[in-house]
Structure 1
Amino acid sequence: MSMREGQDGTERLVVIGGDAAGMSAASQARRLKGPGELEIVAFERGRFTSFSACGIPYWVGGDVAERDALIARTPEEHRARGIDLRLGTEVTAIDVPGRRVRARDVDSGTESWTPYDKLVIATGARPVRPDLPGVDAPGVHGVQTLGDGQALLQTLARAHGRRAVVVGAGYIGVEMAEALINRGFEVTVVNRGKEPMSTLDADMGRLVHRAMEGLGITMVNDAEVTKILTGEDGRARAVATQDAEYPADVVVLGIGVRPDTALARAAGLPLGAHGGLLTDLAMRVRGHEDIWAGGDCVEVLNLVSGQEQYVPLGTHANKHGQVIGSNVGGGYATFPGVVGTAVSKVCDLEIARTGLREKDAGRVGLRYETVTIESTSRAGYYPGASPMTVKMLAERRTGRLLGVQIVGREGAAKRVDIAAVALTAQMTVEQMTALDLGYAPPFSPVWDPVLVAARKAAAKVRP
């Protein structure tokens, strides 16, 4: 019998968050249980559902023509499937003992409690917004939601000058630098790290640095932003560091995101070292039978290091939602973990990584060898062959693959999937050399660049 007040014999699932993880969970649960068995109420504080935040830089840059192309499923489509979706409604509290959530209408401010039998927390992530003078001035933009993207496009259209400063050089910063170049802006990237893309080792990040400068992007590394300077009209006019000022008609924050777990923290739910919710393999919040969590608000197990990690990616969020929905709907599914695969690009430069960096391996006590090789995307004699750099980490003595980073032009990014599969299977670099990969001159050299690196690594780790 249902614990809440409501329709006899019908359980209620409440979902907090209407994007990838939340609505995937709701949709999968609905596939398994009809409205007569399971009532589904979903709260979303914004105005959009099931959208691709990963696609926003490409919309801003003009590769994607319109906003709605980034929406996988509209609110009307969710409602037509029997999901009570409430937009513009922010959950402000979770009462775990009382099995209810408090929600506030964003427009009217009215609040009300909604009981639940089962709860899914999919609150996502919040952009890192440093506490700097001027950071809230007009002309300073984050790029987390479709509304953020729309606001940035409006600023770009109205800008009197063509100077843009991007703060941060991770995935978001690099992708936004490309978007702004495509829009005809002069772009400066201010980065606190020694090289862009801190998800790579510094030697591979240096390749990205050189390529970005070759595209006309000004890279300022080892620089901490101290404030955003504003003009007489109150709008952002420059980004200041301790040593210099960089004029800006628009400023984009690309510093990254953190798990949005303030609700979960206030409710006393378990959080990890990175601030994300901790779950079991079924994506159930640890210690709570009827509460699940997924997407950018959770931490996941890294299968290579054996430690919890924070990896906010749409691929994981959708998988989490499928797992949660299956379990809520009476089925069974698990999410075993990740190996840390991610790809990106800046103009025609492709950037890929999976597994552990050198500092990751050292931090968990692994002894390793590294190799770096130069190869080409196709047979060297075939038209269009372009250079590619592959770095590989392998465990000393055992030869187990630990990580791969690839920087190059055409064909670099998706080659990392070879390594992602090998990591998941816990292969050694010696075993990788025998992989039967597809070959023809238009697609790769006789020895694929990943296998060239594996051969070199295998020779290095042999006793």
Structure 2
Amino acid sequence: MARDPFVVVGGDAAGLSAASKFRREADRDVVVFERGRWISYAHCGEPYFVEGTVERLTDLLSLSPADVADRGIDLRRGHEVVSVSPEQRTVTVEADGDRFDQPYAELLVATGASATTGALDTALDGVFTIHGLDSAAATDAYLTSPAEYDWSRLGDGPVDEARVERNAALDPPERAAVVGGGYVGVEMTEALVARGVDVHLFQRPEHLLPPFGEAIGERVADHLAERGVTVHTGASVTKLVGDDRIEAVAYDGERLPVGMAVIGIGVTPNTAPLDGTGVDRGPGTAVRTDAYGRTSLPAVYAAGDVATARHAVTGAETWVPLGLTANRAGRAVGATVAGDPTPVGEVAGTAVVKAFDLECGRVGLTDEGTAAAAGFDPASETITAGSRSGYYPGGDETTVTLLADRTTGRVLGGAIAGRDRAAIRIDTLATAIESDLTVAELERLDLAYAPPFSPVWDPVLVAAKVLNGRLDD
């Protein structure tokens, strides 16, 4: 008697990584249900499509439905899994007005996350969350004069043409408010400036990019100001004002006229299919998983932005919705279900972001308060060093914040900013964390040196040397 298939809910990074790995390793059926029409696309590339750096929307696709079919995967788009019955081992699916139950032998929930907007009314024309290719397409259309919109920018994907047409018919804005100074907010600020828009960036905390630490956040704010952006830190947008189309944003008792607002204040995991199952939840209401992506429900896994993970520094449960985390976890679950138990891996929150010419990276813990709350005795240093030998052209000041535990000397995290290959240097710190290096061991790493690439003492080594000296005091 044939076994029921491996069923995957979600056709993006984690879901299709799992399905692809499973089909390579096992001679069994796998069914992927995707509620939308788009699959396997690069969320992180959407600001660069809006900016114009990416020429066509479909350039952001990794796999086409035909590619997925060639891998032997039964992909069903426009199919929404609305509930799960762990007792019956079935999922209930809605498609084209019909409803049916699909049995499964194993189930992976890889439904991702959705943009959050808080109490802000996003129904007004001119208000966008950059989360999904249809959203990116509509934003691009809104920024273009009606007579100049180039439909070829969309490529040949399943775009929501009515939504694009509505936004393409509106006159483009002269001023925009970006609400939220995280990854999306900073990237969209750059994109809007490139499109000729006057941008005001609002951030409720006192500095931008909170996970990167205060020193990096302040450097980013200064750089944005140099590029003509008005940065409002410690400012909370409380209302989007307008009848049909946005006219202004209200913040801290003031009102700023705008013709556009981009909301980038965070995401929330899409856990609705598991409502009513009693599945264990973790931080951010994400689905709690073990080292192999297994949930508290029998034969049910979760991976990607919907699932928790284990933090590489603290060892605690955490929720880090990032692209590599999703792809890696999905692939591991696919291998496990196929019969090769594979850990999804720990996460250190390694991330990079670009703000015009300024590159930023972060990993692990960057705040002494957070480290102390996790049980460490933290010490940190922030240094500035050249990115190349001083006599070689093209270098830039690189800011490095490094955090360590006084008791053990262990590297806990760090952040980097600069205009000359700064972001990629964060991988050295990520490797140090994954290897449990001490600051002294980090200082002794034999990093490459040549004048066009680095000074004799790379900025990461300078930070380690200074912090190690402090630990020795």
TM-score, normalised to structure 1's length?
Answer: 0.94
Per-residue CA deviation, residues 253-281 of structure 1 (Å, 9 max, x unaligned), is 11111111122243211111321111111
Letter in 2 for 1:194: E
Q: For 1:152-191, what aligned pairs fall within 5 Å after superposition?
A: 152-157=139-144, 158-191=170-203
Letter in 1 for 2:217: G
1:399–1:462 contact (8 Å) kept in structure 2: no
1:394–1:401 contact (8 Å) kept in structure 2: yes
Counterpart of 2:110 in structure 1 is 122
Counterpart of 1:410 in structure 2 is 420
CA distance in 2, matches of 1:352, 1:143: 21
Q: Does 1:93 align with 2:83?
A: yes
Counterpart of 1:394 in structure 2 is 404
Counterpart of 2:65 in structure 1 is 75
CA distance in 1, matches of 2:51, 2:79: 31
Counterpart of 1:4 in structure 2 is none
Q: Does 1:254 align with 2:264?
A: yes
Counterpart of 1:52 in structure 2 is 42
CA distance in 1, matches of 2:336, 2:407: 41
Which among 213, 231, 234 is matched to residue 201 of structure 1? 213
Higher mean C-alpha displacement, 264-273 vs 45-54: 264-273
Higher mean C-alpha displacement, 186-195 vs 356-365: 356-365
Per-residue CA deviation, residues 88-136 of structure 1 (Å, 9 max, x unaligned), is 111111111111111112xx3322111111101001011111123x322
2:14–2:330 contact (8 Å) kept in structure 1: yes
> Counterpart of 1:123 in 2: which secondary structure?
coil
Q: Does 1:348 align with 2:357?
A: yes
Which among 15, 22, 30 is matched to residue 29 of structure 1? 22
Deviation at 1:160, TM superposition (A): 3.7
Letter in 2 for 1:397: T
2:179–2:261 contact (8 Å) kept in structure 1: yes
Which among 434, 450, 456 is matched to residue 446 of structure 1? 456
Higher mean C-alpha displacement, 270-279 vs 448-457: 270-279
CA distance in 1, matches of 2:439, 2:274: 42
Higher mean C-alpha displacement, 199-208 vs 319-328: 199-208
> What residue ranges of structure 2 are gaps of 5+ in the alignment?
145-169
Deviation at 1:181, TM superposition (A): 1.0
Q: Does 1:320 align with 2:329?
A: yes
State the Cα RMSD in Å. Answer: 1.3
CA distance in 1, matches of 2:2, 2:332: 24
Counterpart of 1:15 in structure 2 is 8
Higher mean C-alpha displacement, 269-278 vs 318-327: 269-278
1:17–1:123 contact (8 Å) kept in structure 2: yes
Deviation at 1:11, TM superposition (A): 3.2
Runs of 4+ in 1 over 4 A off after TM superposition: none
Counterpart of 1:302 in structure 2 is 311
TM-score, normalised to structure 2's length?
Answer: 0.92
CA distance in 1, matches of 2:262, 2:348: 30
Q: Does 1:138 align with 2:125?
A: yes
Letter in 2 for 1:99: R
Q: Does 1:192 align with 2:180?
A: no
CA distance in 1, matches of 2:454, 2:214: 27
CA distance in 1, matches of 2:363, 2:49: 26
Number of residue pairs aligned between Structure 1 and Structure 2: 447
Which among 14, 21, 32 is matched to residue 42 of structure 1? 32
Deviation at 1:288, TM superposition (A): 3.1
2:19–2:73 contact (8 Å) kept in structure 1: yes
Deviation at 1:453, TM superposition (A): 0.4
Deviation at 1:203, TM superposition (A): 3.0
CA distance in 2, matches of 1:109, 1:378: 62
> Counterpart of 2:348 in 1: which secondary structure?
coil
Deviation at 1:397, TM superposition (A): 3.1
Letter in 1 for 2:429: A
Per-residue CA deviation, residues 300-329 of structure 1 (Å, 9 max, x unaligned), is 111111211111111011101110110111
Per-residue CA deviation, residues 335-379 of structure 1 (Å, 9 max, x unaligned), is 231122110011111111111022320221211111111111111
Higher mean C-alpha displacement, 215-224 vs 8-17: 8-17
1:377–1:445 contact (8 Å) kept in structure 2: yes
2:333–2:344 contact (8 Å) kept in structure 1: no
